[in-house]
Amino acid sequence: MRKTVIMMALATALLFVRQNALIPATQPEERKGRDGRPVTIAHDFLDMEREFGASEADYRALGRIIDRAAAAISVRKGRTNADALSILRAIDSVITGEGYRFGKNQLLSSGLRNKTIDCDNYCALYTAIAETLGLPILPVYAPDHGFVRFFFDDGAYINWETTQALVRTDSYYIETLRIPAESVRAGVYMKTLSRKEFIAVEYNNIGAHLMASGKYASSLPYLSAAVELYPVFSSAYHNRGSSLYALKRLNDALADLKKANRLDRSRAGTHNTMGDIHLDRGELDSALAEFQASIELDPTNYVPYNSIAIIMKLRGEDGKSRIWAEKSRRVRERHEK
């Protein structure tokens, strides 16, 4: 049964993949929706979210955003920096003018309904407008974050932080998000996404949505589709490993988490979950090393401190256990919201 579900999800994924090219492949004459509009990447996202509540009202809201952007954007070719900024600011003005604000969200459909959209939702809207109007705007993925790039004829580009309506340099993201150089070189982060890789981001978001509801088994087909379409997608491997761990499939979980860690060594949560697996197995030294690595990357999370207290207790080192438990308590009081 599980194999059948996964194969169905992968088959669905392939329906949304046009080409593995840099430029989005959807063209106005290729495919039309029920309302006669060109089908964009954002329409595909809504199609994928049908079973999670996407409705005709969401398609209408998307169409209204695209129509308003088409009316607001006077410059189409964007050959100069000023042209690019004019286009990007016009798109931001349309989105904010429709009442949308940045906030935590996983599905585009719920964001359109609630007027709260996250970075991936922003990227989907910008890319949908770009596909409709033939603009050189493409999504980019960073650790748990997305933004867009506006490309010029010579291949140069500017990064546009959609959640702030600001131009940002590559170095800004690398430094602010502490992106490892090897992750950039491997194409894990800071690469312009192909269409199928952006579809993979949506599959990962659906998987995360299901995980948040405790539906770990249901999340697996979506997360598997994500890594099939985007083989260096560290976040999807991390999420699938976390779901597998919740399902007590420790060997499979550890394999995915190790893959996630090889692709991105800066994710504290990956180390923490690997530590949990080793602790469950009674591998105390390995668990301790992972919890210490998690703390080094994110000293504000109280959980690994408490896990180390448990390890010390199991070792019979009660004094050290009390010290780590107290550290956990203080960190929790200081940083937990």
Give the pLDDT score at 336.
76
Give the pLDDT score at 310.
97
**Residues 137 and 181 grouped into a single domain:** yes
Asked which of 132, 167, 185 is the last residue of a domain, the reply is 185
**Residues 143 and 33 grouped into a single domain:** yes
Tally the domains of the chain: 2
Asked which of 144, 167, 185 is the last residue of a domain, the reply is 185
**Residues 46 and 156 grouped into a single domain:** yes
Q: Is residue 45 part of a domain?
A: yes
321 or 106: which leads in pLDDT: 321
Over range 184-195, report the average pLDDT. 95
**Residues 111 and 243 grouped into a single domain:** no
Give the pLDDT score at 30.
58
Q: Is residue 11 part of a domain?
A: no
Q: Is residue 48 part of a domain?
A: yes
**Residues 220 and 170 grouped into a single domain:** no
**Residues 121 and 165 grouped into a single domain:** yes
Asked which of 138, 167, 185 is the last residue of a domain, the reply is 185
Q: How confident is the model at residue 38 (pLDDT cuts 50, 70, 90)?
A: confident
Q: Report whether pLDDT(160) > 60.
A: yes
**Residues 172 and 276 grouped into a single domain:** no
Q: Is residue 285 part of a domain?
A: yes
Give the pLDDT score at 88.
96
Over range 224-232, report the average pLDDT. 97
Q: Report whether pLDDT(226) > 90.
A: yes
pLDDT above 90 as % of the chain? 84
pLDDT, one tens digit per residue, over 57-68 is 999 999 999 999
**Residues 62 and 155 grouped into a single domain:** yes
Q: How confident is the model at residue 337 (pLDDT cuts 50, 70, 90)?
A: low
Q: Is residue 276 part of a domain?
A: yes
Q: How many CB atoms lie within 10 A of CB 336?
A: 10
Average pLDDT, rounded, for the chain = 90
Q: Is residue 265 part of a domain?
A: yes
Over range 86-113, report the average pLDDT. 95
Strand order in the sheet with 166-168: 137-142, 145-151, 157-161, 166-168
Give the pLDDT score at 79.
77
Q: Which domain holds residue 125?
A: 22-185
**Sequence-ordered list of residues with C-beta below 8 angstroms from that of 333, at least 6 positions apart, any chain:** none
**If you write DSSP's letter for every residue of 205-237 in order, what string do you get?**
HHHHHHHHTT-HHHHHHHHHHHHHHSTT-HHHH
CATH code of the domain in which 331 resides: 1.25.40.10
Give the pLDDT score at 36.
63
**Residues 174 and 231 grouped into a single domain:** no
Distance of CA 12 to the CA centre of its chain: 19
Q: Is residue 146 part of a domain?
A: yes
**Residue in the block written with tokens 């140069």:** 156
**Residues 87 and 43 grouped into a single domain:** yes
Q: Is residue 190 part of a domain?
A: no
Q: Report whether pLDDT(233) > 90.
A: yes
175 or 5: which leads in pLDDT: 175
**Residues 35 and 165 grouped into a single domain:** yes
Q: How far apart are CA 150 and CA 136, in angstroms?
A: 6
Q: Report whether pLDDT(128) > 90.
A: yes
* Whole-number Cα distances in Å, 84 to 65, 90, 156, 163, 303: 19, 10, 12, 17, 45
**Residues 169 and 42 grouped into a single domain:** yes
Q: How confident is the model at residue 32 (pLDDT cuts 50, 70, 90)?
A: low
Closest CA to 88 of 45, 58, 46, 133: 133
